[in-house]
Chain A
Amino acid sequence: MSIPLVQINDLKMHFKPSGLSLFKKNQQIVKALDGITLSINDKETLGLVGESGSGKTTLGRCILNLIKPTYGHVSFKGLILDELNSKQIRSIRKEMQIVFQDPYASLNPRMTCGDIIAEPIIIHKLIPNKIERENKIKSLLKTVGLNPNIINRYPNEFSGGQRQRIAIARALAVNPKFIVLDEPISSLDVSIQAQIINLLKELQQQFNLTYLFIAHDLSVVSNISNRVAVMYLGHVVEIANTFDLYKNPLHPYTKALISAIPIPDPIIESQRQRMILEGEVPSPINPPSGCVFRTRCPIADKTCSQTTPTLKKISENQHVACLKVS
């Protein structure tokens, strides 16, 4: 059996907010990630869903080694990223890329589309010959559904959807194995979102890519992912096959999340049971003791404040972190 492409072990990311006095007795720490263990298999799409403060974006950046974890390891192709020297890291960076949420902020407005896509190729010294490089860029633009002639135009001449295609072309430029998609369609119009989702699926087939698809919208995540991990306040509370997660959610937070998402069908909606969560998400500076979800959980009891649940295998395809689920 082959090892997973990406393996994360007990990852913790604790931030110290800046500007704190040295004399403060209790150092305030933001526990953005508080013990994440999961794996991403070759050629799969793992969906990562959670609301603000869940830590999903932080996790994406830790996996790419854009930030160093406080504790725990990220392995890529069996290599622990922390143990690599800068030359080895640079080489691995070719294999893992990212597409960001905001196509208006992630493309340098002073570079042409061609230069934007060429940049990673040049940095990694993949195609020294200028003509060959230009051919590669034109071919990438075609692959993402854009006219190759835009190579000398600037990003501000294009719509959000078109810019996101340029960002995807840039991510593909170095022939990566793994791409982190951090809310890649949230800023786009509804009718364009479907175009980009379909494009991502085609590219995955064509180039044998592995995706980590981060989003707050479970409907979108469910459409593209094989498995989905649900995060809450720095923890993974449930991870399952997409089908099982929707049909049989086990964690009370997953149930509430699914219930909160309106389905575009008034007949189905009129028949659904609503599960409305009380209260607000607690601050990650002072998360509740034991299970972080207990302050909003309809089935929490005293034991939930004493023990932090870990992911338990319920079936082949479903793991849940809840003391009340067996």
Chain B
Amino acid sequence: MNKLKSPLLKINNLQTQFKTSEGIIKAANNVSFEIYPGEIIGIVGESGCGKSVTALSIMQLIPKPHGEIKSGDILYRDTNILNLKEKEMQKIRGKEISIIFQEPMTSLNPVLTIEKQLTEQMLLHLGLKYKEAYFKAIKLLEMIGMPDPKSLLKKYPHNLSGGMRQRIMIAIAISCNPKLIIADEPTTSLDVTIQAQILETLKSICQTYDTALILITHNLGIIARYAKRVIVMYAGKIIEEGNSIDIYHSPKHPYTLGLLKSVPKLNNSPNTKLEAIPGNPPDLNNLPSGCSFQSRCFLANEKCKIEPTMTAVSEQHWSACWNYTKLNEH
């Protein structure tokens, strides 16, 4: 199985922090996980859980000076990319690992044509002549299902709809055949039917080129549809990890369980009462000592005053909860 291959990316104890006027926020707090070649994993969590910060940390795009990666390793094929100088990191960014951001309106350059933006990385990383890059750009647009690529290349981002812009982002992300794509909330601002098109395109590209994909979203449905393995984050930490079926059908953390019970499902009968998680999302400036979830947790007890560690609850399934065995009864 996976044990025969070595991981493409391995993150060990990542600590990313931000200095704010109210103190230091541990946005990614001791984050560790790995991803194998060709695998699709999902990172799910709500706002402030640290999923986007983790993505930006991998790409080393954490804004300075208020943000910094305090400690930890990020091993890309045995090289710790956190030790690389910026010039060396540029050879990884866009070529080996690409990222697709959430807001296509602001992540495409408004004053450059699509042609300029699509060819930029290929010229930089693949050493192509301009004509070669241009033809490759046309091929990329055809591959992602864009009509009339030649005239599309002459357009500017503001001439295109949100869905089309996001498809351009995907084209840019795959242009240099990366081994890993990080998609950070790639469809949140898009209509549902366009979302479906885009995710199907992304999935089929990853399958064709055996590209690994980290799909980051708060949408539990998207994760269920596409990810084989799921990582759940809360208040900067990973609180559960496992394969998709275990996470959805046998969750072993009260937060994961709470999230699954609170999400309206299309196949439920109408007016099913939703079981909401009580309380408010965590304030990262004011976390309790011990488990960050305890103030909202129906299983919380004295043990929770000590920070839980990730424990194997079964093969390939881990949870950071002292009381996870009580969840069997639910």
Contacts and interface: CB of A to CB of B under 8 A. Distances in A.
Interface string A265-278: 11111000010110
B266 interface: yes
Nearest to B164: A280
A48 to B, nearest CB: 15
A219 B244 CA distance: 21
Contact of A281 (B191, B223, B270): B191
B268 interface: yes
B268 A223 contact: yes
A276 B200 contact: yes
A218 to B, nearest CB: 6
B143 interface: no
Contact of B274 (A194, A225, A262, A277): A194
A81 interface: no
Contact of B225 (A216, A223, A262): A262
Interface stretch (B18-26, B148-156, B214-222): B214-222
Interface stretch (B5-13, B255-263, B300-308): B255-263
Given A191-B258, A223-B271, A161 B280 contact: yes
A261 B266 contact: yes
Nearest to A241: B270
A224 interface: yes
B221 A262 contact: yes
Most buried by A among B164, B196, B218: B196
B193 A225 contact: no
Contact of B259 (A190, A197, A266, A276): A190
Interface residues of A, number: 47
B73 to A, nearest CB: 31
A189 B47 contact: yes
B286 to A, nearest CB: 13
A52 interface: yes
A219 B264 CA distance: 6
Nearest to B46: A189
Given A159-B280, A194-B263, A257-B192, A243 B200 contact: no
B269 interface: yes
Interface in B241-290: 244-245, 248-249, 258-260, 262-278, 280-281
Contacts of A276: 193, 196-197, 200
Contacts of A226: 270
A260 B248 contact: no
A256 B281 contact: no
B195 interface: yes
B40 to A, nearest CB: 12
Contact of B266 (A189, A218, A266): A218
Contact of B273 (A189, A198, A256, A266): A198
A266 B244 contact: yes
A277 B264 CA distance: 24
Interface string A209-238: 000000011111011111000000000000
Contacts of B46: 189-191
Contacts, number: 142
B276 A216 contact: no
A183 B224 CA distance: 24
A257 B193 contact: yes
A267 B245 contact: yes
A223 B264 contact: yes
A261 B263 CA distance: 13
A51 B245 CA distance: 30
A274 B204 CA distance: 14
B222 A262 contact: yes
A242 B263 CA distance: 17
Contact of B224 (A191, A197, A220, A266): A266
B269 A264 contact: no
Contact of A192 (B193, B224, B272, B281): B281
B196 A274 contact: yes
Contacts of A198: 273-274, 276
A260 B274 contact: no
A33 B248 CA distance: 41
B262 A277 contact: no
B161 interface: yes
A263 B266 contact: yes
B276 A263 contact: no
A82 to B, nearest CB: 33
B163 interface: yes
A193 interface: yes
Contact of B194 (A161, A222, A266, A280): A280
A143 interface: no
Contacts of A267: 245, 248-249
Contacts of B192: 51, 216-218, 257, 260-261
Contacts of B225: 262-263, 266, 269
A267 B248 CA distance: 9
Contact of A262 (B224, B268, B276): B224
B278 to A, nearest CB: 8
B191 A264 contact: no
Nearest to A256: B193
B193 A223 contact: no
Interface in A182-196: 189-195
B265 A193 contact: no
B298 to A, nearest CB: 13
Given A223-B264, A266-B245, A267-B249, 17 more contacts: A51-B194, A161-B280, A191-B262, A219-B263, A219-B266, A222-B268, A225-B270, A243-B270, A258-B266, A260-B195, A260-B196, A261-B266, A264-B260, A264-B263, A266-B248, A268-B267, A276-B197
10 contacts: A190-B220, A197-B264, A217-B192, A219-B265, A260-B195, A262-B219, A263-B225, A264-B260, A269-B224, A280-B164
Interface of A: 51-52, 159, 161-162, 189-195, 197-198, 201, 216-220, 222-226, 242-243, 246, 256-269, 274, 276-277, 280-281
